[in-house]
Every structure is written in structure tokens, then in C-alpha cells.
Amino acid sequence: MTRVLVTGASGMLGRAVAARLVADGLDVRTLQRSPSQVVGAQDVAGSVTDPDVVRSALRDRVAVVHLAAKVTIVGPYDQFEAVNVGGTRLLLDEARSAGVGRFVHVSTPSVAHHGRSLAGAGAGPADPQHARGHYARTKATAELLALAAHDPAGLHVIVVRPHVVWGPGDTQLVGRIVDRARSGRLPVLGDGAALIDTTYVDNAVDALVAALHADPAVYGEPYVVTNGEPRPVVELLAGICAASGVAVPRRHVPATLARGAGSVLDAAWRTLPLAGEPPLTRFVAEQLSTAHWFDQRRTREALGWTPRIGLDDGLARLAQWTARQASAPAP
């Protein structure tokens, strides 16, 4: 297996996966809207919703790691559906036609999260009907499509759900936390004691590469990937803020109040022409006030993988990166 297509390589995780595969000596092609900036990879510019672009990107590939997705907090449902569902369906169909042998579909544990606590959970079934928010619902549908396409005699499909991936340069989790902390809009919901597990980016990369090379016998199923180090959410927020050089949140807001406010803001952003992201959504309020950590034994056994960067080491690396950014000369 030497010729791999990585979609979504302009994002932090996709770029890191593509760079790792290049470093491993594989022939890597990437597909995304903007340049991946991965040295040694062949970039294809375009969308996973464009049949001609997808067909061209898959030419002579034997494996796919599919990360491309619409991951924003807000937006019309049809935009999420077009990319997350339609793009996945197109990629699977064309991969089958191109004779691709392995397909690693990158999903999210939120496909099986109904707003209630998950403590030591396994990879429950994707549930588009009850998943929370446009992103989670469309990713749940896409995951079901991917698993339905698994064919032991043809296209082998495996689903990997990295949970809350973060690291230096992250604009999704770390970037949002830092922006809200700087503007005083990062309260702790409830007592902040809910246990949340996360995944340092290097560990997520290792897991996806392990899935790409895993025994075909473990394909056809979903696997949740985390650091395996659940911590109270107040501790996680404090650690990321301290490593990023911003004030640690001290203000507490009742979780029920935050969820209600999130629902109101969701409705406002759906019905009014409001720019940017809402300061809070129902989904985010639930994520910050309920436990979500997962039993990793099955994942580690199936993929032959264990995380090598602990949470505290990851925070130290984030702090070092922040210090380098602060001392770098202005452009």
C-alpha cells in the first residue's frame, strides 16, 4: 500500500496525517479546497462534492483517508449535508469504481451522543435521528453510508472517531477557547466536574495511520480514539488557557441556564441574518456540562495502537508553541 489519498488536508488533523504518510515514504495525494502545504504531497484543489475532481484525485490510489467535512458550529443544514453526506457518498462510489482497497472514514463520537453523559462508553451506533446539531447528524449519516459500503471482497472500510482533537495551531477547540477567554466569554458550566477525554493531535494521527495498516479483519466497524485520560472540564479549560497565555476562567454559570441560552441562540442564528458564530449553542453547552469519556480497550487491541503523548505533555507542547508564536517577528 503506497498510494494514498487524504481528503481535508488543509485542516490540522488532515495536514498532520498527510505529512506523516509522506514521512513514512508513501505516495500521498491530498484533496481539499485550499492548499494543504504538505511538503512532498501532490495537492488536488477542489471539493469532495465535485465528481470530476474526486475521480481525478482517486486515479491510481489504493487507499483513502477521508477527513474532509464541514465542521463549523452554525450554517444551513443543506450545506452540512452536501459536504458531509453527499461528499462521502461520492467518494465511496468513486473509490469502489477506482478499485481502492482500503477506506479510513474519519468520524466523531458525537454521532452517538444524545446530550446525556457518556462514562466509559464504547463506540455506540451512529444515530442521525438523535445526534445533536447539523454537524453530528450529517456525520452520523455519513458514517452509516461508509459502514454500509464495507465489502470484505472489495472496498474495506473502517471508521475511526477521534474525540476532541487538539494541539498547537488548532483553530477549532484551542482557538475558540482562547478567543472566548480573551473576551471574557468562557464561563465554567455548573461545577466543572464533568469528566471529558480528549485526543492530542499526534495520537490521533498515530491511530489513523494504524487504522490504515490494520488487519482487514477489524475493518467494518467504528472505533473511538482518545488519550484515555479523562479530566474534569474545569481542569481541561484551565490547562489549555494557561498553556495559551490567557486568563483561566473563574466565572460559573448553571448548566441548565447555559443549555437554555444555547437553545435561544441557536434559534436566533437560524432565523436572523447574524454574522459569525453564536457565543454559545445548545450542543456546546451540553458538551461542556456532561461527561464524555470512552473505554479504549477495544480500539487499542484492534488497531495495535496506544497514545504516546500524555495530556500533560501535550499541554507543555502547546505552551512551548505559544511562546514561540509570541516571540516570532511580526510579518
Taken in order 310, 316, 319, 325, is the CA torsion positive or negative?
negative
Average pLDDT, the chain: 89
Give residue 115's pLDDT.
66
Hey, is 149 helix, strand or coil?
coil
In which element (H, E) is residue 177 found? helix 173-182
Q: What are phi and psi of 254, to 5 degrees?
A: -55, 135
Q: Which domains does the chain have, with CATH numbers?
A: 3-167+199-226 (3.40.50.720)
Hey, is 277 helix, strand or coil?
coil
Note the maximum CA span of the chain.
56
Average pLDDT, integer, range 197-207: 96
Q: What are phi and psi of 170, to 5 degrees?
A: -70, 125
Residue 258 or 145, more confident = 145
Catalytic pick from 135, 200, 219, 223? Answer: 135
| Residue 35: all three cell numbers together | 492548499
DSSP state, residue 275: -
Taken in order 307, 310, 311, 313, is the CA torsion positive or negative?
negative
Residue 137 or 268, more confident = 137
Please compute Rg for the chain using Cα positions.
Answer: 19
Average pLDDT, integer, range 142-157: 95
- Nearest-angstrom CA–CA distance, 297 and 74: 34
Residue 200's closest CA among 321, 88, 290? 321
Looking at residue 252, its amino acid is H
| Residue 291: all three cell numbers together | 461527561
Note the pTM of the prediction, 2 decimals: 0.92
What are the CA-CA distances from residue 226 to residues 17, 296, 297, 298, 307 (Å)?
A: 16, 7, 11, 12, 8
Which range is least confidently modeled, 47-56, 70-79, 113-122, 220-229? 113-122
In the predicted structure, residue 117 carries a pLDDT above the cut 90? no
Annotated catalytic, 135? yes
